[in-house]
Amino acid sequence: MEIKQVFSGKTVEEAVENGLKELGATRDEVEIVVLEEGKKKLFGSVPARVEITKKDRRTDGERAVDFLKGLFPFLGVQAETVLRNEEEKIEIELKADNSRGIIGRRGEIIDAIQVLAGAVANTGRDHYKRVVVDYGNYREDREETLRRVAEKLAAKAVRLGKRVRLEPMNPYERRIIHAALVDNEEVTTKSEGSEPARYVVIVPKNLKPYDNRDRNGRGKREGGRDGKRDFRGKRDGKFGEKRYPKRELPKEGTPESSGTSFNRESSSGYKKGSFNGFFGTFLGNSREDAEQTTDQTTEQKDDE
């Protein structure tokens, strides 16, 4: 972090000396920009002004460590922060009596701490430098667990011939899954979804096309396109045509109706098997048809 301050004096040299004295720094540790050189006038003078910037001599890893030391009190966590390495990557180790406030559920807290430390360490850098925050070999154990899960799910994907989707992971853990299966000749991996719910999908090379199976894997459902069904929703034939049960047609000589004739002797003198009216609504078109039907019935009674 750079600190910029403006100092003044009768001359530029005096202004610089005043600034270095106040900052407690040497010329090698600061950058100096002259804002006003100072001038003498007929009445008085204009003082010289310089801007002095004290460079932050801390390394990227040291800045990240100092940031975490100030962060933990806000989290209510008492932890010691140690910088282990910052050559190829910055490695920071945390030490605490209680791991619950450091790691969290499935490493959510320590992952968030690592992201913040990485943002601070890479401030002002042209190329991003990886930052790893660890606690009690948690990262190593987690990597081993992810590798075992990747191998197990890859075997499952090949056995079933189906895609297998893993739970959402951060970019670091997704890279572990991809690396664990990069040499597997039976599957390929790819990331799908959007952050923060991006996940890895394992795709077997023997991926089966979609087949007409139900969710329980019991083959085609009963009465499918090639199956046969009886009445009450069951189908027959290639295109699912319905079959209906046969009904007994009215005897010859009886009017066509939607009802059923009585096959018993009635109290009004009808013979057994004779037609005894309709069930339902009369479908005649006029009153004359109804009267004609009544006359015919009366004539039949007279004949008998």
Is residue 32 included in any domain, yes or no? yes
Of residues 145 and 57, more confidence is placed in: 145
Is residue 283 included in any domain, yes or no? no
User: Looking at the structure, do residues 101 and 161 belong to the same domain, yes or no?
Assistant: no
User: Looking at the structure, do residues 155 and 113 belong to the same domain, yes or no?
Assistant: no
> Token pair for residue 74?
């806000």
Of residues 224 and 43, more confidence is placed in: 43
- The pLDDT of residue 223 is 45
Question: Would you say residue 141 has pLDDT above 70?
Answer: yes
Is residue 117 included in any domain, yes or no? yes
Q: What is the pTM of this model?
A: 0.52
User: Looking at the structure, do residues 120 and 168 belong to the same domain, yes or no?
Assistant: no
Is residue 263 included in any domain, yes or no? yes
User: Looking at the structure, do residues 145 and 117 belong to the same domain, yes or no?
Assistant: no
- The pLDDT of residue 171 is 87
Each residue's pLDDT tens digit, 12-29? 888 888 888 877 777 777
Is residue 67 included in any domain, yes or no? yes
Q: State the average pLDDT for the chain.
A: 75
CA 27 from chain centre, in angstroms, equals 55
Domain endpoint, select from 97, 112, 136: 136
Which of 239, 237, 159, 238 minimizes the C-alpha distance to 205? Answer: 159
Is residue 155 included in any domain, yes or no? yes
Which of 52, 35, 135 minimizes the C-alpha distance to 92? Answer: 135
User: Looking at the structure, do residues 132 and 65 belong to the same domain, yes or no?
Assistant: yes
Of residues 274 and 31, more confidence is placed in: 31
Question: Would you say residue 213 has pLDDT above 50?
Answer: no
User: Looking at the structure, do residues 67 and 125 belong to the same domain, yes or no?
Assistant: yes
**What pLDDT band is residue 279 in, cutting at 50, 70 and 90?**
very low
User: Looking at the structure, do residues 122 and 177 belong to the same domain, yes or no?
Assistant: no
Cα angle value 192/104/130 (rounded, 5°): 60
Question: Would you say residue 152 has pLDDT above 90?
Answer: yes
Is residue 126 included in any domain, yes or no? yes
Mean pLDDT of 30-44: 76
Cα angle value 100/104/107 (rounded, 5°): 130
> Which CATH number does the domain housing residue 92 bear?
3.30.300.20
User: Looking at the structure, do residues 75 and 131 belong to the same domain, yes or no?
Assistant: yes
- The pLDDT of residue 208 is 85
User: Looking at the structure, do residues 117 and 83 belong to the same domain, yes or no?
Assistant: yes
Is residue 148 included in any domain, yes or no? yes
Q: How many domains does the chain have?
A: 4
Contact 147, 206 (CB under 8 A): no
> Which CATH number does the domain housing residue 179 bear?
3.30.1370.50
User: Looking at the structure, do residues 66 and 41 belong to the same domain, yes or no?
Assistant: no
209 upstream amide cis, omega within 30 of 0:
no
The whole domain housing 267 covers: 247-276
Question: Would you say residue 1 has pLDDT above 90?
Answer: no
User: Looking at the structure, do residues 99 and 125 belong to the same domain, yes or no?
Assistant: yes
Each residue's pLDDT tens digit, 76-121? 888 899 999 888 899 999 998 877 788 888 788 898 999 999 999 9
What separation in angstroms does the CA of 193 have from each of 165, 167, 179, 200, 244? 11, 11, 19, 9, 51
Question: Would you say residue 302 has pLDDT above 70?
Answer: no
Q: Which long-range contacts (C-beta less than 8 Å, at least 24 apart) are formed by 152-158?
A: 153/202, 154/181, 154/184, 154/186, 154/187, 154/202, 154/204, 157/187, 157/202, 157/203, 157/204, 158/186, 158/187, 158/204, 158/206
